[in-house]
Homo-oligomer: A and B are copies of this chain.
Amino acid sequence: MRRPTIVDIAKAAGVSKGSVSYALNGRPGVSEETRRRILAIAHDLGWAPSSPARALSSGGRVGAIGLVIDRPAHVLGVEPFFMQFVSGIEAELTGSGVDLLLQVTEEHQAEVAAYRRWAAEQRVDGVIIVDVRTEDPRFEAVQKTFLPTVVLGGPEGIGSLPCLYTDESAPMREVVHYLGALGHQRIARIAGPEYFVHTGKRTRAFLEAAEEAGVAEVYTEHADYTGEAGTRITRRLLTRTDRPTALVYDNDLMAVAGLGVARELGVDVPSQLSIVAWDDSTLCGLVRPALTAVVRDVVSYGREAARMLVKVVSGERVQSKEISPGELQPRASTGLLLS
């Protein structure tokens, strides 16, 4: 019960294996009648092309793309962003015969090594890069190895790679103006790590928006997206004498943590403290009070990234593209400041 090969089909059909290949790939060179006969036999035998054999032939693709996620296990489990993104990629790839290779690492260097290995061993046809950093070594690695790439982030600082980027400032402006209108004059932001480019973009947008909206005092604290960090920093912020009256978090997990701390300290949300999460998952709607959040369609980011990468892999020239930055979804965690 060996798996059938095109040689088996050729024998059964009484033709050469070259003809079988032409027939199966829908290319000219065989008569319609022969083609039908070959296809029928292939179907009967339950034939499917060997992916390694295809890849080995002239210029063949392996039919897989790669994604490396650089987050510790306990964050990844609760951080909705990545699984949504992965779901979007999968949704796009389904039925196209392209598979997703996923690597989870806890170290940035391992990530670069993964790209190098994938390229050298011909394991993927292309990769998607997320979480762009300042001084990011991954771009050099993929350029050197000519690995087709699509970046989620940019467009600055990523060389000439095609990317999907968002305007972080529009939602940030929306958030700050909204909080300003609710009477908040002291807003703290619990952000992601400084070395992520999008963190910096948001920080600048945060400052600009505050000036624009006439909010007196804003400042940013950097964290690592974990619940623990969210708890720790929120506790420190809320126990200051001049504590902020509104908190903006860079992900939803830290926001949930922050909500817990407010509860613990007896600070009422939203009458004494407003909370905004960036990235909305069902989580935000489940906790009480439900969290106001910046809603982004992360699944569609994944779809779009996969679609672009497939094009790049097949040799098409692809334009970078701006995607919807998301918008504010007000819920119960924000409200008028009652001092």
Q: Which of B1, B51, B76, B121 contacts A49 (CB 8 A)?
A: B121
CB pair B120 A3 closer than 8 Å: yes
CB pair B48 A121 closer than 8 Å: yes
Task: Name the CB-closest residue of B to A100.
Answer: B102
Q: Which of B56, B64, B83 contacts A77 (CB 8 A)?
A: B83
CB pair B101 A88 closer than 8 Å: no
Task: Name the CB-closest residue of B to A99.
Answer: B101
Task: Name the CB-closest residue of B to A77.
Answer: B80
Q: Answer whether A256 and B73 are a contact pair too, CB < 8 Å, given A82-B83, A101-B99, A227-B282.
A: no
Q: Answer whether A84 and B77 are a contact pair too, CB < 8 Å, given A120-B46, A123-B51, A286-B257.
A: yes
Q: Which of A222-255 contact B (CB under 8 A)?
A: 226-228, 230-231, 253
What residues on B are CB-neighbors of A199 within 8 Å? Answer: none
Q: Answer whether A87 and B76 are a contact pair too, CB < 8 Å, given A101-B99, A103-B99.
A: yes
CB pair B83 A94 closer than 8 Å: no
Query: With the chains together, A263 CA to B84 CA distance in Å?
Result: 28
Centre residue among A48, A54, A121 by max chain B CB count within 10 A = A121
Task: Name the CB-closest residue of B to A93.
Answer: B103
Instruction: Quote the shortest CB–CB distance from A238 to chain B (angstroms).
Output: 14
Task: Name the CB-closest residue of B to A103.
Answer: B90
CB pair A84 B90 closer than 8 Å: no
Q: Dominant SS at the A interface?
A: helix
CB pair A286 B260 closer than 8 Å: yes
Q: Answer whether A78 and B80 are a contact pair too, CB < 8 Å, given A226-B282, A286-B227.
A: yes
What residues on B are CB-neighbors of A100 within 8 Å? Answer: 101-103
Task: Name the CB-closest residue of B to A254.
Answer: B286
Task: Name the CB-closest residue of B to A228.
Answer: B282
Query: With the chains together, A3 CA to B282 CA distance in Å?
Result: 46
Q: Which of B49, B52, B259 contacts A56 (CB 8 A)?
A: B52
CB pair B260 A282 closer than 8 Å: no
> What are the nearest 7 A-B pairs in CB distance?
A48-B120, A73-B87, A77-B80, A52-B55, A52-B52, A90-B104, A263-B288
Contacts A49-B121, A51-B121 known; 9 new A-B pairs at CB < 8 A: A1-B146, A51-B52, A73-B299, A99-B123, A100-B101, A227-B286, A228-B282, A253-B286, A260-B286
- Would you list 6 pairs from A and B whose C-beta atoms are within 8 A, ordered by A residue? A73-B83, A74-B84, A76-B86, A78-B83, A227-B283, A227-B285
